[in-house]
Amino acid sequence: MRTIQGIAASPGIAIGPARVFAPEDLSFSVSTPADLPAEWQRMTAALQTARTQLQEIGQQAAAQLHPEEAAIFEAHVQMLEDPEWQAAMQTAILQESRNAESALMDTAERYAAQLEALDDAYFRARAADIRDVARRCLRILLGKPQPDVSLHQPSILVARDLTPSDTVLLDKSRLLGFCTAEGGPTSHTAILAKALGIPAVVGAGEAVLSIATNDLLILDAHHGVVVIAPDEETLQRFERAQHAERDRAAQERAHAAEPAVTRDGRQVEVVANVGSLDDARHAVEWGAEGIGLLRTEFLYLDRQTAPDEEEQYHAYKAIFDVMGQRPVVIRTLDVGGDKELPYIDLGKEENPFLGWRAIRMCLDTPEFFKTQLRAILRAALGHDIRIMFPMIATVKEVQQARALLEEAREELRQKGLAFGERIQVGIMVEIPSAALMADALAKVVDFFSIGTNDLTQYTLAVERTNKRVAHLSNALDPAVLRLIARVIEEGHRAGIWVGMCGEMAGDSRAIPLLLGLGLDEFSMAPALIPHAKALIRTCDLETCRQLAQTALTLPGYAEVEAFLAASSPVV
């Protein structure tokens, strides 16, 4: 028996045989071809074959009803066709006399490295996409077959790392878990595992590569541990834990569609954070009572031109239709800062997180903003839709955004287009100034949704992607808790509801505390909903109130964490 420590990327316990996805040998030599135009032709032929393969896999993904994965392959085709990249390869071959393999890999690596240097998980993930596309072309140039990822029995997949295209072809019904040598909590493998609700341990190092297919493995993805060839006693212990976990999860799922009411009768809404049509479908399956945060960025990124009103209308309507009469809070575009859009000049900023982003950018580009507002208003017809503005810092911004919303309505009336009339308008409270001005803001909106991811970043002055200062970043810090308490109190004083859509809302340690502070709505990743509801049903509100009041008086997050771990709000 051996154990390897990695990073827990998607919780749970998996036990089963390993299926090792062996690293491919894609080594190549660097040479100077005699016939350079013929070499360039070899390159363009490989690009053409890659495009055909990608279109086929994309169609396969679409046929399996995975539109997000299909979109990944469309994005890969676009990368292949990128004129800048093609020109760089052409120069490397025709002018620098490089062979196709080295021209391809060097240029791809250059682009990937540029993206990877950006402090943003989204762009780092795009770097993996570029490498994925380049490896596909390289495989074609070398005449090697596409990798075999078939699973003949339920297995734990072991790999160096997995690319998006590896995982599309996987038979997910036989997948017990993932174990990778590389990758972090935001890698493609981690995101996929969370979406599928299966355990994953990533970044476990080279030792993972010594595992052989059919070795018996235990993945303890609560603690990031991989056990290879466990002894009988360990195996039994984990089997018991897995059974208990499955029983509990099955129980929770069986009651996921029921309301979340505390023991003493306080009902709160438990809703989902959603970033795509697929997420919306999952949300319903996991018992979401609605959507508390629909991030609309998915429509705007990864493309060369802005989506027009028609495209947006159809995309939003598809999601609203899945949700039926359940309420949906749709957030207007939250890009800018470090998330660039090729079709809007965002300029270079010293401190992008403090820069021209989200509502600030939208208010400065009213026609662009109103296109989204008109699409939302039209799609809202017949649904319970709430519009939410992100990154609000001042009352004036809300007034300006509402004025543009009114203009969008008027434009639709002029055109004779039908739209949803009764729409609540709210804001994300994720900047400390908004939390401090909650009393004034509550007078101009219908609801607040607290964004603890950014609120923590701005309150503690810790950039959320900066690993060096990550130890300072904790939403349980009393400074953040005091702002949350204030927002809820002021919202209620003005008679509006207050929700939360930051990660904290789905954190089971924080839920009793948030109940005690009076939060009305909890919005989280769909898979967290059944457990959150089960937890709320065990809570006693009065005990939670006392718990919250004590937490607010503690000096730091370490004390809050220790206090929460030691106190149980459960009667």
Active site residues: 188, 501
Answer positive or negative: Cα dihedral of 21, 228, 183, 476: positive
Minimal distance, residue 390 CB to Mg ion, in Å? 6
Nearer to Mg ion, 183 or 451 (CB): 451
Nearer to Mg ion, 129 or 430 (CB): 430
Binder of residue 370, out of Mg ion, ligand PEP, none (CB less than 5 to 8 A by kind): none
User: Does 336 participate in binding Mg ion (rule CB under 5 A)?
Assistant: no
Binder of residue 521, out of Mg ion, ligand PEP, none (CB less than 5 to 8 A by kind): none
Binder of residue 101, out of Mg ion, ligand PEP, none (CB less than 5 to 8 A by kind): none
At 202, list the tokens: 């990533």
Nearer to Mg ion, 451 or 506 (CB): 451
CA–CA distance, 526 with 529 (Å, rounded to integer) = 6
Q: What is the distance in angstroms between the CA of the first residue and the CA of the last residue of the chain? A: 42
Q: Nearest Cα to 394, choosing from 362, 437, 332?
A: 437
Minimal distance, residue 523 CB to ligand PEP, in Å? 8
Contact positions with Mg ion (CB under 5 A) in 96-135: none
CA–CA distance, 405 with 393 (Å, rounded to integer) = 18
Minimal distance, residue 453 CB to Mg ion, in Å? 5
Nearer to ligand PEP, 328 or 501 (CB): 501
User: Does 454 participate in binding Mg ion (rule CB under 5 A)?
Assistant: yes
Binder of residue 501, out of ligand PEP, Mg ion, none (CB less than 5 to 8 A by kind): ligand PEP
Window contacting ligand PEP (CB under 6 A); options: 95-103, 310-318, 446-454, 548-556: 446-454
Calculate the dihedral angle through the C-alpha atoms of 399, 404, 410, 411, rounding to the nearest 10 degrees. Answer: 180
Interface with ligand PEP: number of residues (CB under 6 A): 10
Binding ligand PEP (rule: CB under 6 A), the pick from 6, 58, 307, 502 is: 502
Nearer to ligand PEP, 132 or 430 (CB): 430
Minimal distance, residue 243 CB to ligand PEP, in Å? 35
Contact positions with Mg ion (CB under 5 A) in 394-433: 430
* Cα atoms in the 13 Å half-sphere on the side-chain side of 381: 11
Minimal distance, residue 339 CB to ligand PEP, in Å? 10
**For the window 31-70, what string marks contact with Mg ion as x by the rule CB under 5 A?**
----------------------------------------
Binder of residue 295, out of Mg ion, ligand PEP, none (CB less than 5 to 8 A by kind): ligand PEP
Minimal distance, residue 457 CB to Mg ion, in Å? 8
Minimal distance, residue 6 CB to ligand PEP, in Å? 25
The pair phi, psi for residue 284, each rounded to 5°, is -65, -45
Nearer to ligand PEP, 252 or 430 (CB): 430
Nearer to ligand PEP, 61 or 505 (CB): 505
Which DSSP string corresponds to 246-298? HHHHHHHHHTTTS-EE-TTS-EEEEEEEESSHHHHHHHHHTT-SSEEEEE-GG
Residue with tokens 């998915």: 298
Which DSSP string corresponds to 26-78? --------S-HHHHHHHHHHHHHHHHHHHHHHHHHHHHTT-HHHHHHHHHHHH
The pair phi, psi for residue 121, each rounded to 5°, is -60, -35
3-state secondary structure of 420: coil
| 282 CB-near residues (< 8 Å, 6+ apart) | 195, 272, 526, 527
At 428, list the tokens: 């994300």
Answer positive or negative: Cα dihedral of 268, 533, 449, 422: negative
- Are 231 and 20 spatial neighbours (Cβ–Cβ below 8 Å)? no
Nearer to Mg ion, 20 or 293 (CB): 293
**For the window 241-270, what string marks contact with Mg ion as x by the rule CB under 5 A?**
------------------------------
Binding Mg ion (rule: CB under 5 A), the pick from 11, 292, 451, 530 is: 451
**For the window 411-440, what string marks contact with ligand PEP as x by the rule CB under 6 A?**
-------------------x----------
User: CA dist 9 to 170, 199, 204, 267, 432, Å?
Assistant: 19, 7, 11, 32, 30
Which DSSP string corresponds to 105-155? HHHHHHHHHHHHTSS-HHHHHHHHHHHHHHHHHHHHHTTPPPPP---SSSE
| 243 CB-near residues (< 8 Å, 6+ apart) | none
Interface with Mg ion: number of residues (CB under 5 A): 3
Minimal distance, residue 334 CB to ligand PEP, in Å? 6
Binding ligand PEP (rule: CB under 6 A), the pick from 19, 194, 295, 386 is: 295
**For the window 325-354, what string marks contact with ligand PEP as x by the rule CB under 6 A?**
---------x--------------------
Q: Nearest Cα to 564, choosing from 515, 519, 509, 525?
A: 509
Binding ligand PEP (rule: CB under 6 A), the pick from 129, 454, 463, 520 is: 454
Q: Which amino acid is at 17?
A: P
CB nearest Mg ion: which residue? Answer: 454
What is the C-alpha radius of gyration for the chain, rounded to an integer number of angstroms? 25
**For the window 198-237, what string marks contact with ligand PEP as x by the rule CB under 6 A?**
----------------------------------------
Window contacting Mg ion (CB under 5 A); options: 164-172, 271-279, 398-406, 444-452: 444-452
Nearer to ligand PEP, 353 or 368 (CB): 353
Q: Nearest Cα to 108, choosing from 125, 84, 75, 72?
A: 84
Nearer to Mg ion, 101 or 430 (CB): 430
Minimal distance, residue 403 CB to ligand PEP, in Å? 24
Q: Nearest Cα to 165, choosing from 152, 154, 149, 176?
A: 149
User: Does 453 participate in binding ligand PEP (rule CB under 6 A)?
Assistant: yes
Residues that bind Mg ion (CB under 5 A): 430, 451, 454
Residues that bind ligand PEP (CB under 6 A): 293, 295, 334, 430, 451-454, 501-502
